[in-house]
Amino acid sequence: MTLSSQIESLQKSRGASDPSFIKVLSSMLEQLGEEADARSQEALIRFARFPYRKTLEDFDFDFQSSVAKQSLQKLLDEDYLSRKQNLIFLEPPGVGKTHIAVAFGMNAAMSRSKVQFISCSELIARLREAQERNTYLRRLASFARPALLIIDEVGYSQMSSEDSALFFDVVCRRYETGSIIITSNKSYKDWGEIFGGDSVIATAILDRLLHHSKSFVLKGESFRMKERREDVRL
């Protein structure tokens, strides 16, 4: 039975002026709104293509104590997205950078903001393919549209000068128009190596990324090593 037919049936049985009809109708409309919100949130989460679904509540801040939950929550409370602020999480593999990035992305999607999650290697691959198909500007625009773009694993492989220019284009298109979250296993002093040893383009990229940004350097042991030790003890 459709909602309209349910309302019509309810109206006939109770009368439009019956206070109980108004109460039940209000409850039905509220439920309908909640269901629509849930569908919208689910659609945005699927669009983002997260590698998994994680929140800050799932993060083990006792084990990874180099970043404070309060500092991350403050960024959410202060609405970093509306201020077009970038967030950058640096240093060794396995310390929780991607988990935190996904958590911020999930929060944005649940708040009805469009998010896109992509690894750095896939980002470059898609841009290269778009160049070959003469659809580069359209593809570049697709990375500029979401309120939040998460680029994971920057620095795990060195980019050529051509690929560095593609990455630069993405950063430029989003500069002061949308937030970027980046995870990287390299400190800023090593970003010249990431971009083919070209310190000029590395500096230009950092200049735009860091203008409105907050950086976090995570330290400590890998979560995966911790879980492996626990598995061995079992």
> Residue 225 above 80 pLDDT?
no
Residue bearing tokens 């750095």: 120
* Confidence at residue 217, expressed as pLDDT on a 0 to 100 scale: 95
Number of domains in the chain: 1
Residue 39 dihedral angles phi and psi, to the nearest 5°: -65, -40
| Residue 4 in domain | no
Other beta carbons within 10 Å of 107: 19
Percentage of residues in the chain with pLDDT exceeding 90?
73
Domain presence at residue 103: yes
pLDDT grade, residue 27 (50/70/90)?
Answer: confident
Long-range contacts of 122-126 (CB under 8 A, 24+ apart): 123/151, 123/167, 123/170, 124/159, 124/163, 124/166, 124/167
For the stretch 185-211, pLDDT in tens is 999 999 999 998 999 999 999 999 999
179 close to 154: Cβ distance less than 8 angstroms? no
Is 132 among the domain residues?
yes
**Closest to 72 measured CA to CA, from 84, 60, 63, 80:** 80
H or E, element range at 119 = strand 115-119
Could you give the angle at the alpha carbon of 100 between the alpha carbons of 81 and 105, nearest 5°?
40
Structural contact between residues 97 and 105, judged by C-beta atoms closer than 8 angstroms = no
Which pLDDT band holds residue 6 (cuts at 50, 70, 90)?
Answer: low
Does 226 have pLDDT greater than 60?
Answer: no
Computed over every residue of the chain, the mean pLDDT equals 88
What local confidence, expressed as pLDDT, does residue 9 receive? 62
Section 51-68 average pLDDT: 94
Mean pLDDT over 212-233 rounds to 74
Asked whether residue 24 is domain-assigned, the answer is no
State the average pLDDT over residues 121-139: 98
Please indicate, yes or no, if residue 72 is contained in any of the structural domains: yes
Looking at residues 99-116, what average pLDDT do you find?
A: 97
85 within some domain:
yes
33 part of a folded domain: no
DSSP, res 64 = -
Q: What is the CATH number of the domain that holds 216?
A: 3.40.50.300
Distances (CA, A) of 183 to 5, 12, 15, 82: 51, 59, 59, 21
Question: Which residue range forms the structural domain that includes residue 123?
Answer: 48-230
23 located within any domain: no
Confidence (pLDDT) at 8 = 58
Q: How confident is the model at residue 30 (pLDDT cuts 50, 70, 90)?
A: confident
d(CA 196, CA 128): 17
